[in-house]
Structure 1
Amino acid sequence: MDERLLSQLQEATRLTSKGSLAEATALIQRALRKDLPEPPTAETGPGMEKDPIEGVFYVVDTPAPPQDEVFVDIAAGSDARSTFVEHGGHGFIDGTYSCAAGSRAYKLYIPGAYHGQPLPLIVMLHGCTQNPDDFAAGTQMNVVAENKHCFVLYPAQSSQANNSRCWNWFKETDQKPGRGEPAILAGMTQDIVHRYHIDPRRVFIAGLSAGGAMAVIMGTTYPGLYAAIGVHSGLPYGAATDMPSALQAMQQGKGGQGRRPQSEKGLPTIVFHGDHDKTVHPGNGEQLVKQAEFALQGTAQTSAQHARRSVQHGKIPRGHRYTVTVYHYPDGSPMIEHWLVHGSGHAWSGGNRKGSFTDAHGPNASEEMVRFFFAQPMN
């Protein structure tokens, strides 16, 4: 980060502290228009847009949901859920969760195989400017969930909480348990687990970009709630505490080096990152793996410090090459995986073009994350 940009960010921080949010945002946007690199050709598309946190990216129109999907508002409570399930209900439904920390809408995918039995749950946190429909269309996680018989919960960030609908991973007040967005997301997860009799040993959380960074925060602050973490193009815990440090971490990939997860329990983690990502530096993926190693040292199953490690190389036909580094439990199951997708930018690997931030030429991140999740030992 050059001195001019740093000076502008410091001025933006001063304006923010004075309450001049509009002036601060405008200043940051002007600075980034001059300093942020253009995305690689593979990521360009209609509707080029710049955002003070997410960087430069393309956004496509959010597709209309398929007509055969079922939409029901289950915010009324468990009675609505029971009636819905008794009549063979499944599909993509709307809901709202509220608690003392705030309120958020969500979408929930219920697989056709559900008849009241305890199934797994995957919580999916979208990136900036996205919403649950867009994220579901791009990741195709509902298709995977239908085949694997699991629920998928898509919390929706509100524009009131963040103008670009980014999860506020860069705010220190949203990095601790019992308050802010972590409290809302944890409460929402617990509510769905209770309502649908989810298997509490198989609750997982994943996200893209800002959502990936928030997934790390959730796994760190509520390690007893989730069984594993999936992070795509995200950042490590403690990478930033304000907007200037967030931008620096995104650009340089050195955030969070001095701050380690504070939880007593480390979680298995799978990381995806494109090595041509111009929005969130690939070095953040490396830092995530280091944090996971540190957090998993001395766990009951094994010490990550002495875990067996393997490196694999592959290529998708007519697509990207990739390198996978895997840390194994003693029984051979994966404890940490780091997928580096060569030639890919800031996009969900193997995603569908109907959604934003997708790269169809990479290995399928959705399928690999679910495989990793389901391979974890159940305590």
Structure 2
Amino acid sequence: MARWRRGIPVFLLCVALAGCAAPVKADSLAGQGISIETRTLPAGHLSRTYLAVRPEKAHSGLPLLVVLHGRGVDVRNGAVQTGFLGYAEQGLADIVYPAGIGQSWNAGSGCCGIAARQRVDDTSFIAAVVADAAHAFTSDPRRVYLVGYSNGGRLAFHLACVSPGLFAAFATYGAAPPAPCTNPAAKGLSALVAAGTGDRVLGHGAQVAEHASATWRTLDACPPASSSRRVSPAVVTTWTGCAGGSAVQSLVYSGVTHAWPAGATGLMWTFLSGQVRRTAA
């Protein structure tokens, strides 16, 4: 397996605001105790790739974490932005980073970028990534987690609705659902929705988080009672006792913009890693 090395170029900043991720400056993806390979999959008439990261002392049965980058971000910089690599370094997870066409995802409702214009089938691609990685790494099929940022978060909402059997839980930051989800098959899928109140790309972050979390609370038949706590600058609200042992959580970051917030990674991992899908797809 190849290793990440120093000298990864900084990505070209996306000039259109809608659906774009905030910039990141990354000159190193070096990590201790991880191995990485680029895997290639046929996807329709296209050849698609994803980065697969796993602990050097690999063993079967780890959770599989799928992380979707934002628009205008290459896959390596997306890995730096979201900060989940440490969980592979600690031997806690296998992680995959699919690469969007033109650094974008076709997330439905005309969004976003080249992928949407070319009507790329990203739904089938992500399903193929999950199947390929889970087989190659013998990951735990009951603990497949999905994270999406910005345009990648929009696709995560779509995937959670149309392909809920792939995942035990999903989390998003800086994204709104492309459409309300009414798929009864999504019942029991745990969800975390995070947004910043100062996000000018997303708009009214608190309202987006509330609307999206309300949709999933309805789908998961959550009781109305919730618990809240502050993990500065975020307000963390959690609904438990939902269908099939699922849970819903919202993170609202006061004054935070579209940029991935410090601390979100740990909160997301804590939530996701506590969820188990009872029946493998």
Shorter-chain TM range is 0.7 to 0.9
Contact 1:327 1:335 in 2 (8 A): yes
**Distance across 1 between alignment mates of 2:73 and 2:42:** 21
- SS of the residue corresponding to residue 349 of structure 1 reads coil
Distance 1:263 1:322, change over 3 A: same
Question: 1 or 2, which has the higher helix percentage?
Answer: 1
Normalised to the residue count of structure 1, the TM-score between the two structures is 0.62
- 1:307 offset after TM fit, Å? 4.8
1:278 aligns with 2:162: no
Is the contact made by 2:22 and 2:260 (CA closer than 8 Å) also made in structure 1? no
1:134 CA displacement: 0.4
- After TM superposition, the structure 1 = structure 2 runs for residues 47-196 of structure 1, keeping only pairs within 5 Å, are 50-51=15-16, 53-54=18-19, 59-66=23-30, 90-100=34-44, 102-115=46-59, 117-147=60-90, 149-159=92-102, 165-171=103-109, 180-196=121-137
2:201 is paired with a residue whose SS is coil
* 8 Å contact kept, 1:233–1:273: yes
TM-score, length-scaled by structure 2: 0.82
Q: Report if the CA contact (8 A) 1:307-1:328 is conserved.
A: no
Query: Using the alignment, how far apart are the partners of 1:169 and 1:272 within structure 2?
Result: 18
Find the counterpart in structure 2 of residue 260 from structure 1.
Answer: 181
For residues 187-219 of structure 1, what are the alpha-carbon distances to aligned partners after superposition, in whole Å with 9 as ceiling and x for unaligned? Answer: 111111112111100001011010011111111
User: In the alignment, which residue of structure 2 is the partner of 1:15?
Assistant: none
* Alignment CA distance shift 1:60-1:52 (3 Å): closer
Note the C-alpha offset of 1:52: 5.5
Counterpart of 1:264 in 2: which secondary structure?
A: helix
Which secondary structure does the structure 2 equivalent of 1:348 belong to?
coil
Q: 2:151 aligned to 204, 210, 213, which one? A: 210
Q: Distance in 2 between the 1:325 and 1:201 partners?
A: 25
1:340 is the counterpart of 2:252: yes
Q: Distance in 1 between matches of 2:239 and 2:225?
A: 6
Looking at structure 1, the residues matched to 155 and 13 of structure 2 have their Cα atoms a distance apart, in angstroms, of 25
After TM superposition, the structure 1 = structure 2 runs for residues 327-366 of structure 1, keeping only pairs within 5 Å, are 327-329=239-241, 335-350=247-262, 364-366=263-265
The answer to whether the Cα contact below 8 Å between 1:328 and 1:336 also exists between their aligned partners in 2 is yes
Gaps of 5+ in 1: 1-46, 70-88, 160-164, 239-258, 298-303, 316-320, 351-363
Question: CA 1:90/1:62 → structure 2, altered by over 3 Å: closer, same or farther?
Answer: closer
Which of structures 1 and 2 has the bigger CA Rg? 1
AA matched with 2:166: L
* Partner AA of 1:348 in structure 2: W
Matching residue of 2:212? 288
Name the counterpart of 1:311. 228
Letter in 1 for 2:27: P
Q: How many residue pairs end up in the alignment?
A: 258
CA distance in structure 2 between the partners assigned to 1:314 and 1:205 by the alignment: 22
Q: In structure 2, what is the Cα distance between the partners aligned to 1:148 and 1:365?
A: 20
Looking at structure 1, the residues matched to 247 and 91 of structure 2 have their Cα atoms a distance apart, in angstroms, of 21
* 8 A Cα contact 1:272 1:339, kept in partner: yes
Task: Indicate the SS of the match to 2:234.
Answer: strand
User: Equivalent residue of 1:59, what SS?
Assistant: coil
The answer to whether the 8 Å contact 1:96/1:103 transfers is yes
> What is the deviation of 1:158?
2.0
Q: In 2, Cα distance between the equivalents of 1:101 and 1:311?
A: 48
| Inter-partner Cα distance in structure 2 for 1:48 and 1:222 | 31
2:269 pairs, out of 360, 370, 374, with 370
Unaligned runs of 5+ in 2: 1-11
Question: Counterparts of 1:101 and 1:288 in 2: how far apart (Å)?
Answer: 34
Q: Is the 8 A contact 2:167 2:277 kept in 1?
A: no
Determine which of 142, 146, 165 is the counterpart of 1:224: 165
User: CA distance change for structure 1 residues 136 and 153 in 2, over 3 Å: closer, same or farther?
Assistant: same
For residues 217-268 of structure 1, the C-alpha deviation after alignment (integer angstroms, 9 at most, x for no partner) is: 1111111111101111111241xxxxxxxxxxxxxxxxxxxx3332423310
